[in-house]
Amino acid sequence: MIHPVILCGGSGTRLWPSSRKGYPKQFAPLLGESSLYQATLRRLTGPRFTRPLVMTNEEFRFLASQQAAGIGLSDAQVVVEPCLRDTAPAILVAALIVAQDDGDEGLMLVAPSDHVIADLPGFLHAVDRGAEAARSGALVTFGVTPDRPETGYGYLEIARKPDGTGAALPVSSFREKPDVATAAKFLEAGTYLWNAGIFLFRAADVIAAFEAHAPDLVAPARAALDRGREDLNLFRLDPDSYAGSPSISFDYAVMEKAGRVSAVPLDCAWSDLGAWDAIWAAESPDEDGLAIRGPVTAVDCRDSYLRSEEPGLQLVGLGLDGVVAVAMRDAVLVADKSRVQEVKGLVSTLRAGGVDQADDYPRFHRPWGWYETLCIDTRFQVKRIMVHPGGVLSLQSHHHRSEHWIVVSGTAEVTIGDQVKLVTENQSVYIPLGTVHRMANPGKLPMYLIEVQTGAYLGEDDIQRYEDVYGRG
């Protein structure tokens, strides 16, 4: 069987404002009810695969576990990277884990968490062909057959044109993102594929490749794994050891240097949803090139994408041509469709200007659920809070604010000082300033409440934690 390894730590800032550092695109329901990460998990389940191994970071550890459990994959193995070190160290750690679990012959399929693949049978056929090559010792990568001179992807140069069988072909070189003229030459040649960033190999083979071509990564990865520890349903790599690893991509560290690298052509409507024009294409535009999502009204618009993510926010487009407009409660993007690749730089500009929306998502996700601010002024704030079934907030107090909680759906178990009581729908409680308190959801359905804060300071750092079931400080 094949061990799926899912890389789940990116930020996806080209899809701002829907994707931000606090809630990146892999976790967002960009194309339906499920997230891209959940779609990836589903794609890599079945008789070919073992339970998934998810490599993520500290900020997303609970989201990764919760979204996996949300589609019935509560056995997913989540490994927490203590700091960002690009893809090479993460893949090496995953290979060491697979080798421990399955020996030298263990196969691992490494996939990003934020890709869209429409043709599942076609993808699985490519995986089967890749497995054949990997079992013979090749390091396999997957390349998408290009249908246009795309400048947003890197390319794989292969030894000869694909013959239609899907067989793995030797890779001659890796090419960076080209300009338009070079991309057109690649397309005409027929011996270039888009680099999909998906890999398949035996764990022992890729470990040997690291030892040969990136030996400075091996000791930190082994130490981070050996000194790591279980934490709830997660595995934490040792921070000091992992921090000693260079930050480098897997292609640069290994694939571009290794001797036996093969590519399997991937002919299955693949997209990495790297920018808003890719979302537009995935939304199946109408005959006028218009695609919409959410509460949108479009009049005389063409070649455009209009999206509203707030149920009560109606987005109206009139006479638009070649425009992307994305509306959220706290931020709106309006861009020339031909320049959406520049959104990443725009986010850097917002960040440099101290704009909170550059990174902060309007809904803040926590291990117990989420909260969002409905209204805020100098001395009060109103929040909506959702607590998962079984979710427990930390035992805490505040130095500068008092709180009113009004349960609007479900039942809350509320601790105030030394008293514990149940608060049901339409009931409320008051937590005086400085009082130790906690809330939990003892029910089997999500619990929702409205929190009204009043005080001189309403920042999230006004929390004194005494106990936390999720191990937060």
Indicate where the chain has its CATH 2.60.120.10 domain(s).
363-467
Is the CB of residue 403 less than 8 Å from the CB of residue 372?
no
Q: Does domain 2-271 have CATH number 2.40.340.10?
A: no
Sign for the CA dihedral angle at 222, 227, 230, 231 comes to negative
Q: Can you give the pLDDT at residue 440?
A: 98
pTM of the predicted protein model: 0.90
Q: At which residue do the structure tokens 């040997």 appear?
A: 208
Q: Which residues have C-beta within 8 Å of that of residue 355, sequence separation ≥ 6?
A: none
Domain span(s) for CATH 3.90.550.10 in the chain: 2-271
Model pLDDT for residues 48-81, shown as the tens digit of each residue: 999 999 999 988 998 999 999 999 998 899 999 9
What is the full per-residue pLDDT of the chain (473 aa) written as tens digits? 999 999 998 777 899 999 999 899 999 999 988 999 999 999 999 999 999 999 999 889 989 999 999 999 988 999 999 999 999 999 999 999 999 999 878 999 999 999 999 899 999 999 999 999 999 999 999 999 998 998 889 999 999 998 888 889 999 999 999 999 999 999 999 999 999 999 999 999 999 999 999 999 999 999 999 999 998 789 999 999 999 999 999 999 999 999 899 999 998 889 989 899 999 999 999 999 999 999 999 999 999 999 999 999 999 999 999 999 999 999 999 999 999 999 999 999 999 999 999 999 999 999 999 999 999 999 999 999 999 999 999 999 999 999 999 999 999 999 999 999 999 999 999 999 999 999 999 999 999 999 999 999 999 999 999 999 988 76
Strands 296-299 and 270-271 turn out to be unpaired
Superfamily classification of domain 363-467: Jelly Rolls (2.60.120.10)
